[in-house]
Amino acid sequence: MDEINLKVLEPKEKVGLIIVITGHGKGKTTSALGIALRAIGYNMRVCIIEFMKGDIYSGEIDGIKRLSPNVELHLTGKGFCGIKGNPYPYKEHRANAQDALKLAKEKMLSKKFDILILDEINNALQLKLVDLPQVLELIENKPQLMHLILTGRDAHPEVIKRAHTVTEMKEIKHAYRQGIEPQKGIDY
């Protein structure tokens, strides 16, 4: 791509945003990854912690590796708890989610990152793998200029209340409902 001169905007006041991406439609993680990609363009550092994913390969794993060293990815999950075919017991899912929560606190307080993405944390909260006070503590202790992104279905009303921006992905139509299997590069 040719180098072009584009004006770079600077906000008068920098604010570390709390962003919630929720809903039953496709694209929550993809939206968060889009924010990460945009941030990398400004040489910002991003940490992504996957609360549920981690037992099945997804193209985003190697895609994110290509964005290193600006992006760090941690796969802490054992798949989607309670979903047919997931072999892990609830207590193992909860232990992994608790470890992910500890890691999130550690990364947040390290001051090495501009953005912390907690992928599928809303699901983890809904399934009681993490507790509401734990999530609210993360939100309340977020460094002032760090952006915190929480993704996953069924965001808790208290989490939504504390967010600056909330987007709800709504399914209108999905290929899966037409009998089409998930496709590489699109769905995983």
Domain ranges, ordered by start, for the chain: 18-169
Residue 184: band (very low, low, confident or very high) from pLDDT cuts 50, 70, 90:
confident
**pLDDT, mean over the chain:** 93
| Tens of pLDDT, residues 69-104 | 999 999 998 887 777 778 888 999 999 999 999 999
Question: Length of the chain, please?
Answer: 188
**What does the alpha-carbon distance between residue 33 and residue 61 come to, in Å, rounded to a whole number?**
11
The amino acid present at 65, given as its one-letter code, is K
Would you report the helix, strand and coil content of the chain in percent, each value rounded to 5? 35, 15, 50
The pTM assigned to this predicted structure is: 0.92
Query: Where is pLDDT greater, at 53 or 22?
Result: 22
Residue 41 CA: distances (Å) to CA of 5, 8, 113, 120 = 15, 12, 15, 24
Class of the domain covering 18-169: alpha beta
Which residue in the block uniquely carries the two structure tokens 């993490």?
130
Greater confidence (135 vs 77) lies with: 135
Distance CA 85, CA 108 (A): 33
